[in-house]
Structure 1
């Protein structure tokens, strides 16, 4: 994630990942918004329950409405009676509550502004264009399926290679001698990409063809390996549907960064030390020296 996204306002854009419905309250037709409870005469409408449901974690949203909604209504009743009691005690005017209300308002405004700026960019056409640029046009990723025998010393690894050259079965030898992952399965590591393994191991494995065994031991931080490649394949690129959540996240993060950077550049910002004294301006970056002719 870019460093600029650690700024609070930009980070709030991640809330848009649930889609526009979760970021903005939709207008409700009063005729289709029945009252589902009353507390001292004050109503709770179905739309309020539905809005609360949209804010729940996915595993709760998946519950059937006949099970979920009574639980939500009961929770909202408890929340309302507590809030009403606090108002009767005049707590809404306490400095602590007013500060928290201001903070909640600030966060709501930030989210609303980011939603207004970013939501128009989240079109199906824009996401598909990004998919073609960033994913579909990229070459397929190579993968190999390999076995290994992991031992503690180079001497032990060379002994294993000698045994294999003499006709020993690799899987059986791995079960007998290996101290590494998958030893019980004959050293089988399954399919993996180059970046998923230690560099020396990956370089050796991807240099082999199916059926070949590394001619010399390969050393990593885990010990000494003897490697046999079983299969090679190219992993197809994921479909648009599989990639859409990550594409949406990337668009949101980039757009949020641009929005926040634009607003910060247009604002007059003063910084102060913790004692209230003016903070010294950071030194200007010197211009780059001209390239020699």
Structure 2
């Protein structure tokens, strides 16, 4: 095993089970690559003309091995075969990854020189890959035909109906340990004390340093006692009685109340498209299975009934 491959293997082992990386697309974006594998426009016009149309689609050359150019598209294809965790570290490991791409090209050239392109094992494996690609392409095109703009719009309108605008509050609070302390805070507020300044001085919660300021919240996003009290208040008022929760005693100031804005279609289109694609894929497979003759042999024991629609496999003969 080459030194570069050893490094990659070790990193894969270290990263298995770690928090997920951000994926290849993020890496391509941050490193300057676009979706087609191009990196900027570093190739000069004369060079681009010399490469011809075929090379233009592959991006800039990244290496030359025995006179054969390797392109950015070759690098992208290699990266896409890496585990997601390793893809997240691709930029750090780029020297080793480039070395491995070159090693792969050397092995490929050696295989062609040895006449393996027509080897029976190679041809058999290519046939399996071809079958897989044909099936995947059929399924993807069938999905694309069904996931139309009209269906996306219908799904978006349904999403809006199922996720109506919610009331959202903006509030501050002062958290203390005892009911008496909370009542004393209310007395000071009744006397004209500034809520934010009092929160900085009295509150034991983490928001105290920010004057008790809380991020906007919807009903049910706070503990029940706090949420119920806040949603029962009028804007501009503070709670006249301490609000007890598992964290202590709160005095709440309700600053704003508004309705959330529905998400734009663009914001949820990816989620909706994935959902529709999954439904379309299941429908296509169901249609293909309907009327098909399918007999599952794997895992059948002697004398065991076959699944519905199939016959039991014959018992092997004893010689």
Normalised to the residue count of structure 1, the TM-score between the two structures is 0.59
1:68-96 CA-to-partner distances (Å, cap 9, x unmatched) read xxxx9987544322444578899999x9x
Q: Secondary structure at the match of 1:201?
A: helix
Matched, 1:215 2:235: no
- Alignment partner, residue 226 of structure 2: 201
Structure 2: distance between partners of 1:257 and 1:195 = 35
Coordinate RMSD, CA, aligned: 4.9
CA contact (8 A) 1:136 1:237 kept: no
**Relative to 1, partners in 2 of residues 1:151 and 1:88: Cα closer, same or farther, differing over 3 Å?**
farther
1:34-53 Cα deviation digits (max 9, x unpaired): 3867645767678x559749
- Asked if the contact 2:166/2:259 (under 8 Å) is kept, the reply is yes
1:192 maps to what in 2? 217
Q: Please give the secondary structure, in 2, of the residue aligned with 1:219.
A: strand
SS of the residue 2:215 aligns to: strand
List gaps (5 residues or longer) in structure 1: 1-14, 16-21, 23-30, 61-71, 282-293
Among 268, 289, 299, the alignment partner of 1:243 is: 268
Following superposition, the deviation at residue 237 of structure 1 comes to 0.8
Which residue does the alignment assign to 2:92?
none
Match of 1:166 among 181, 187, 191: 191
Q: How does 1:55-74 map to 2 (within 5 A)?
A: none
Q: Deviations over 1:168-190 (max 9, x none)?
A: 22111111111213211110113
Counterpart for residue 46 of structure 2 = none
d(CA) in 2 for partners of 1:222, 1:85: 70
With 259-268 and 194-203 compared, the bigger mean Cα shift is at 259-268
Separation in structure 2 between the aligned mates of residue 89 and residue 203 of structure 1, nearest angstrom: 77
- Structure 1 residues 205 and 74, CA gap change in structure 2 (3 angstroms): same
Structure 2 residue matching 1:34: 3-state secondary structure: helix
Determine whether 1:130 maps to 2:151: no
The equivalent position to 2:250 in structure 1, one of 217, 221, 225, is: 225
- Equivalent residue, structure 1, for 2:55: 34
Structure 2 unmatched ranges of 5 or more: 1-23, 25-34, 36-51, 88-96, 308-319
SS at match of 2:204: coil
Task: Give the equivalent residue in structure 1 for 2:105.
Answer: 80
- Per-residue CA shift, 1:225-261, capped at 9, x if unaligned? 2211100111211211222222222223333455566
Query: Aligned in 2, Cα 1:73/1:161: closer, same or farther, shift over 3 Å?
Result: same
Could you list the runs of 4 or more consecutive aligned residues of structure 1 that deviate by over 6 angstroms after TM superposition? 72-75, 86-93, 100-107, 261-266, 275-279
Change (3 A) 1:190 1:172: same
Q: Give the structure with higher Rg (CA).
A: 2
Normalising by structure 2, report the TM-score: 0.55
**Separation in 2 of the partners of 1:89 and 1:165?**
92
| Contact 2:75/2:98, CA 8 A, preserved across alignment | no
User: What secondary structure does 1:211 align onto?
Assistant: coil
Q: Which has the higher contact order (CA 8 A, sep 6+)?
A: 1
Instruction: Identify if the C-alpha distance between structure 1 residues 109 and 215 changes in structure 2 by more than 3 Å, giving closer, same or farther.
Output: farther
Residue 89 and residue 160 in structure 1: after superposition, are their counterparts in 2 closer, same or farther (change >3 A)? farther
